[in-house]
Amino acid sequence: MHDDRTLTENRLARVLELRLRPAVHVRSLPLEVSAHHVPGEPVPVPDGIAGPYRPIAPGASWGPAWSTTWFRVRGTVPQDWAGERVEAVLDLGFGATQPGFSAEGLVYRPDGTPVKALNPRNTWLLIAERAQGGEDFEFHIEAAANPLIFDPDAAGDPFVPTRAGDVAPWLRAEAGGTSADTPLYRLRRMDAAVFDETVWELVQDLDVLSGLMRQLPEDSSRRHQIRHAVGRALDVIDLQDIGGTAGRARALLAPVLAAPAHAGAHRISAIGHAHIDTAWLWPVRETVRKAARTVSNVTALMDDHPDFRFVMSQAQQLAWLKEERPEVYSRVLEKAATGQFLPTGSLWVEPDTNLSGGESLVRQFVHGKRFYLEEFGVETRDMWLPDTFGYNAALPQLMKLAGIDWFLTQKISWNTTNAFPHHTFWWEGIDGSRVFSHFPPVDSYNGDLSGADIAHTERNFRDKGPANRSLVPFGYGDGGGGPTREMLARAHRLADLEGSAKVHMESPADFFAQAHEEYADAPVWVGELYLELHRGTLTSQLATKQGNRRCEHLLREAELWSATATVLLGDPYPYAALDRLWKTVLLHQFHDILPGSSIAWVHRETEEAHEQAARELELLVETALRRLAGPPDAPGSSIVFNAAPHTRDGVPALGGTPRAAAPRVTPVREGDDGGYVLDNGLVRITVDARGLITSAYDLSAGREALAPGAVGNLLQLHQDFPNQWDAWDLDAFYRNTVQDLTEADQVTVRGDAVEIVRSFNRSRIRQLLTLREGTRRLDIETTIDWREREKILKAAFPFDLRADHSTSEIPFGHVQRPTHSNTSWDDARFEVCAHRFLHLAEPGWGAALVNDSTYGHDVTRDVRPDGGTTTTARLSLLRAPLFPDPEADQGAHRLRYGLVVGADIADAVREGYAFNLAERTVAGAAAVPPLVEVDHDAVVIEAVKLADDGSGDLIVRLYESLGGRAAAHLRTGFPVTTALTTDLLERPLADAPHLPVTDAGIPVALRPFQIVTVRLTRRPLSP
């Protein structure tokens, strides 16, 4: 037999694309189309439907950027189409890019009922299942003209800087963008057509067989069998009468489609999914419409496919639908009741888990799970987080405390250096908690169940042998869209097909239960899941990160002082305001907002939201503190409040007390060679005439912190032009060139601070160095007018330390990372995340860097000619990427960081909190005892609040912060009747007895890094 493999496969590709797919809607007629344009923000659906329409025809342009065009389509079904399935083919001119990256539309009936969405891969609309003939129909389309900021299918560089992501001042042409009046799209096909079901089914048959055939080995018998059957089917198709011959072709393909899969074939759980970024290349307001479009699509599919299951993983998006699109939300409730629509994920949004604070992550679970419980009666058991830029090592414990048994993500498959060794495994956190986890080997959260997807899943699965199951999330995503009827057709054909894995549509719970039963002894991965990519997100868009950090600490204070005022004074607790403000902050922790990887519009709105939240929180704090402090008993009398979890300067943690005078700042004295010295008896800081720190001397230990000949607080500028993903990535080669900023415009004394001013390129930096009495911390306040492009600014501290690891704060604890690069895994961690502190030490002595808004750090070490080791820690202060926001980080910034000399881990923890939670001084005379305090230095009280259920119970969340065991007593400043430990949703833990309430307090034993939530029921006060 002669070899005709290439001939047949190429023939199939051409016939399928150029003849068969177009023949699905071969009989058609044009529709009557009219439109009206809505500039600016979207209008309510009734207003859009009622708008002033004017005729428009295919070929006409529409859609200035970020505007909405409403189309009205009308037609009459021809009499000779009676009995046929009639559909509209509505191609608004999207282009070939993925759904959600460009224009999208939602179709409505004239009464405003949503029908389904339109996107580049989904242009059909059902008019009649069995047409009567002669009936009129009318639909309206709300079409969003979203500019294509990023085209993943573009040839060349898709990361071209554009101002299309900033609508203020509405893309003025003179600003380098597109004119606000320039249409982006051109109307294409707007037809009514007969849907030929037989032809459509033939297309799906050939699509699946083609995909499978091309993935099989060239010389496999199965590939030859399929090719032979395909060739015979193509032979019987009359290209001038496709509808009349499609049935015969399907009959010839039926035997190869009926051949069952091997008994041991890999099993794939196909789960409908649409990853909808809560903001990214579009603003938050557009995400509300994206959610409505996707949900309308999938609920319509569920009507025709009872076995179709779809998961939606962000409670915020469903809450938006409930509030703003109740007609769409009613369909969610309908399909949730049938078990087809599955709330999942347990989170309010899919957050960045590197940058979000510990209590923020708690509230992501609390608000997410509570929404699903209240709205659907569903206790979600999984954390579904396919796309974020690394996963901190505290998450397993948080998941367990939230009642979560399973974890799914995808992003680690993007690693550029090391392939993660498992797809199914146990993930162990810093406290020892373990969660059963899965990374779908399809390597995508936008799967389409193509032959390539299925074959790659099976080939790539790394746990073959002991395990034989994996999961594929299928459906268009990033901008939404979800599964299509073509994808469901693939799933049905692949359920039991020889040569393929077995594909079954089911729920995440079904998959995880079966996978766990099959592979209960899966391997264990301990510690963080570090993404070897997107390291620049630790630094991009500083203002967004600063707003988040500030709001996180203000929320702590607002809850603490409001609860204190309620318990001690009987003041009302601001439940509703705190709930709303938490949700605002949680929303803006989404994994393309907080990391700084969204368009300018998103970050501008985020900064405004943070500012508004901060103003409201400051007012809540001020109101509570004024009540607690009481009236002054003498002119100038005041109370100092300390929201930090450690006593400082005589003020108790979480309480307030009168204090005669604030701690003094060490005066500056002149040093040698035109420099200055700050000396408080504990440390001595020497600054030279260039404004560089030449010595940081620990007077108590008699030890110099800085390496010989090195200088501290050295600002360094690097070229920062990654190979791709500008705002996301920081590539290792940035370190190959560096500009040390050693020249100063001026170095002077300003009050009790050393002031340094430096100018470089078009930027200017002003720093104030201060040292207070009684502290080992040098504070560095930095104001920058940042005008760089494609640069990263670092602050370096070269320590005379042989530290084999660095210690970085993460939520509810810390992690250690090697300072060497022995392995490729070590080398890939060249930029790491630390929250409030980074610590370096050798036995007996250490130093820490603390900050108020910096997350990116790097640590390197070198052996000097004298035999000593220099370990250099650097903070990443600012970046200047051009995509997707060409003005990212431009302008004025103020940030603070500090050097703590002679610090152990406990010092670093304490100083990190103190640096971010300033004391507050309020006029008054009433000392305020803490509501709660703990008698163990390693135990940190993270949150004090009233229970969310309005019972008046007090919730105290605490954790062990040093990585050891702690036997502590929790003491209260009010009478307590009962104390019990709870989960994160403030529900009693199963089998957890009540904690004894003793004269010494409530005993709490914690293992390393353990988080404990205690619920205290207050004893009613006697009248």
Give residue-wise pLDDT tens across range 759-770.
999 999 999 999
Most confident listed range (86-90, 149-153, 660-664): 86-90
pLDDT in tens, 175-189: 444 456 789 899 999
Position 158 confidence tier, pLDDT thresholds 50, 70, 90: confident
Cα separation, 955 vs 196, in Å, equals: 63
- Are residues 915 and 896 in contact, defined by beta-carbon separation less than 8 angstroms? yes
Alpha-carbon distance of 915 to 909, in angstroms, equals: 10
- Among 115, 223, 290, 769, residue whose Cα is nearest residue 499: 223
Task: Compute the distance between CA of residue 229 and CA of residue 468 in angstroms, rounded to an integer.
Answer: 30
Share of the chain above pLDDT 70, in %: 97
Tokens 């007969």 appear where? 194
Strands 434-438 and 406-408, by their bridges, are parallel
**Active-site annotation holds for 387:** yes
Pick the catalytic residue from 91, 151, 387, 571: 387
The residue behind tokens 């294409």 is 188
How would residue 1022 be classed by pLDDT, with cut points 50, 70 and 90? low
The alpha carbon of 925 is separated from its chain's Cα centroid by a whole number of angstroms, namely 45
pTM of the predicted structure, to 2 decimals: 0.97
Q: What average pLDDT is seen over the chain?
A: 95
**Residue 98 pLDDT:** 65
pLDDT score of 180 = 62
Q: Over range 321-331, report the average pLDDT.
A: 97
Task: Find where tokens 């006029």 sit.
Answer: 923
From residue 45, give the alpha-carbon distance in Å to each of 118, 247, 324, 895.
16, 43, 11, 45
Residue 151 has pLDDT above 80, yes or no: no
What is the rounded CA–CA span in Å between residue 888 and residue 743? 26
Q: What are phi and psi of 522, to 5 degrees?
A: -60, 155
Spell out a b/e string for 914-934, using b for 16 or more CB atoms within 10 Å of the CB, else e.
bbbbebbebebebbbbbbbbb
pLDDT bracket for residue 635 (50, 70, 90): confident
The rounded distance, in Å, linking the Cα atoms of 958 and 356 is 18
> Does 448 have pLDDT greater than 90?
yes
For every residue of 682-693, DSSP letters joined together read SEEEEE-TTS-E
pLDDT level of residue 222 (50, 70, 90 thresholds)? very high
Angular region, 122: left φ>0, alpha ψ -120 to 50, beta rest: beta
Closest CA to 101 of 48, 158, 170, 62: 158
Q: What whole-number distance in Å separates Cα of residue 767 and Cα of residue 750?
A: 11
Which of 614, 552, 610, 600 lies closest to 889, judged by CA? 600
pLDDT > 90: percent of the chain: 91
User: Under DSSP, is residue 508 helix (H, G, I), strand (E, B) or coil?
Assistant: helix
Q: What are phi and psi of 696, to 5 degrees?
A: -130, 90
